[in-house]
A and B are shown apart, each in its own frame.
Chain A
Amino acid sequence: MLMTGEQYIESLRKLNTRVYMFGEKVDNWVDHPIIRPSINCVKVTYDLAQDPEYKDLMTVKSNLTGETVNRFAHLHQSTEDLKNKVKMQRLCGQKTGSCFQRCVGMDAFNAMFSSTYEIDKKYGTNYHENFKNFLIQVQQNDWVVDGAMTDPKGDRGLAPHAQRDKDLFVRIKERREDGIVVCGAKCHQTGSINSHWHIVMPTQAMREEDADYAVAFACPSDADGMYMVYGRQSCDTRKLEEGADIDLGNAQFGGQEALVVFDDVFIPNEYIFLAGEYEFAGMVVERFAGYHRQSYGGCKVGVGDVLIGAAALAAEYNGAQKASHVKDKLIEMTHLNETLYCCGIACSTEGYPTEAGNYQIDLLLANVCKQNITRFPYEIVRLAEDIAGGLMVTMPSQKDFDSDLAVGRNGETIGEICNKFYAAAPSCTTEQRMRVLRLIENLCLGAAAVGYRTESMHGAGSPQAQRIMIQRQGNIEGKKALAKAIAGIKE
């Protein structure tokens, strides 16, 4: 059954998720001012699913149960579904101007569904049935699930088993009749605290010596032995200041990442999806990363839409909107943003069915998509900063603008002085100008830059990971044959 946004928030209160921040335990993390914007952001994925204006994208009929489910919990059944996924992500990016966190789970569902099918085919294991049963629970309860792939990895030059500390990759510590005990950690986990459950997957292809690290499973976020340490974001403590709404740039929404620790967590057999079949670790990684590289062709584009809009407003408020170079910069930003969208749609359109029946994106095009994502948002940010002017980083605080402390010779207050000197075109108030510049700051180098910039670089794999895939999928031999045929080169 679909939850409303409010029901989602109430459902989080029922969890006993252990959260630590600034060296302390956070008991009421749902209402914590640093965490709450990220929860509001996930809530949007529930609110939009209830809204007739958006539910065509946000909801879909489940192939598993025949019920209407949130698309974030869906197995893609066609290329149309793959495209709708990208469109939904663009929409959510537009509505939140942030990372809305629910995609990693969706990408994990689709990767695990097809991978478990193929593992079972080879080994006669029961992982696919386990996974299907789990996903039905997810759909029926409308849960948020974190897709947890990235391990701490320690020395990048060493394989998991060769690390000085055995826990630097999540591993099976003990095998029991009724399940496994796992330990280790996952880094950079998007929305982990806001998730009801976690799906844990291996972080890289594995060899035989690393069989204990080839492990995938699901567990509730408040499983015994599990806890999370909140990741800092640029300007995060502004959220703790009173009367700093405008300074936040985006007071309502934000992203979230955390370190998730598995301190000897027991996983019952029915929630295990991979346990030692090491040659399939690479398949899980490749599929999850493929879907996630497609995802960015939607979500980052939606956030880009917000940034382009903010830059256009800043130009207007500055009275510079008619300048040809400003118009041209907005065109360039739009061109870059829509190019990313083209990539997201293209890799979806060229999708194909897996053996298990759900649809997979075109891997080459998804990797090209993500490679562009590692670059274009940076250029869009550069152009936004150009249009915004220096004030986006030098402006006094909201408290100054609100201050009635008299400081001028004629008794002018700090607020009056700020309003006097930061007034611009008559089309806007000083407050409106402040608001839009703070939003640009938030997206370009504040809290939302975690999602819009660095996540664009490293999320779903650093640039080199895509280049390796592009090399593998690029069919250079085929291209050489084409050139030979045209040049008249005979073997």
Chain B
Amino acid sequence: MKCGVKFCGGCNPHYQRGDAFRRIQADMPEIEFEYAEEGTDYDHLLVIGGCTACCPIIDQYTVNGDVLKMWSEDHVDIIEEKLEEKLK
């Protein structure tokens, strides 16, 4: 499963977004994560915002499945559960 990853610009993030992503990546080695690029097809897209605004624009990406958004460290587990579901 190929999952695109889109970080917000990080103007004032309330947690370490990179660390949170690396945790998800480490916990789910069976998923192929890559930084989202235009023109590439993704099964799902993980959007990592720094705060509740979770503001990245994502219209430009091709996502066949779902867009999963997170904006807090507390969301790591929820995202992992959702991704786990998708793997089934």
A56 at the interface (CB under 8 A from B): yes
Q: Tally the A-B contacts, defined by beta carbons under 8 Å.
A: 38
Measured in the bound complex, the distance between the Cα atoms of B49 and A87 in whole Å is: 13
CB distance from B1 to the nearest CB of A (A): 20
B56 x A56 contact (CB < 8 A): yes
Q: Which of B5-13, B24-32, B75-83 contacts A (4 or more CB under 8 A)?
A: B5-13
Which A residues from 40 to 87 make CB contacts under 8 A with B? 52-58, 80, 84, 87
Partner of A88, one of B5, B6, B11: B11
Given contacts A90-B11, A305-B12, contact A56 B6 (CB under 8 A): yes
A221 within 8 A of B: no
Q: In the assembled complex, which residues on chain A have CB atoms less than 8 Å from the CB atom of B18?
A: 53
Which residues of the other chain, B, contact A87 by a CB distance below 8 angstroms? 9, 11-12
**B35's closest neighbor in chain A, by CB?**
A52
Alpha-carbon distance between A55 and B5 when the two chains are bound, in angstroms:
13
With both beta carbons as reference points, the residue of chain A lying nearest to B12 in the complex is identified as A90
Query: Which residue of A56, A88, A90 has the most chain B CB atoms within 10 A of its CB atom?
Result: A56
Q: Are A56 and B12 in contact (CB under 8 A)?
A: no
Interface footprint category on A: 10 to 19
Q: Which of B10, B11, B18 has the most chain A CB atoms inside 10 A of its CB?
A: B11
Within 8 A of A (CB), among B47-84: 56-57
- Give the Cβ gap from B71 to chain A, nearest Cβ, in Å: 14
* Residue with the highest number of chain A CB atoms closer than 10 Å, among B8, B9, B57: B9
How far in angstroms is the closest Cβ of chain B from A339? Answer: 14
B21 shortest CB reach to chain A, Å: 8
| Interface range for B | 10 to 19
Chain B residues, Cβ within 8 Å of A199: none
Q: In chain A, residues 93-115, which have Cβ atoms closer than 8 Å to a Cβ of chain B?
A: 94
- Verify if B17 is at the interface (C-beta below 8 Å from A): yes
List, in ascending order, chain B residues with CB within 8 A of A80's CB: 57
Bound: A58/B10 CA distance, A: 10
Closest-by-CB residue of B relative to A52 is: B35
Contact in complex: B12, A54 (CB < 8 Å): no
Closest 9 CB pairs of A and B: A57-B9, A87-B11, A56-B9, A52-B35, A53-B7, A91-B11, A54-B10, A90-B11, A56-B56
- A sample of 30 cross-chain residue pairs with beta-carbon separation below 8 angstroms, ordered by A number, consists of A52-B7, A53-B7, A53-B10, A53-B17, A53-B18, A54-B7, A54-B10, A55-B7, A55-B9, A56-B6, A56-B7, A56-B8, A56-B9, A56-B10, A56-B56, A57-B8, A57-B9, A57-B10, A57-B11, A84-B9, A87-B11, A87-B12, A90-B11, A90-B12, A91-B9, A91-B10, A91-B11, A91-B12, A94-B12, A305-B12
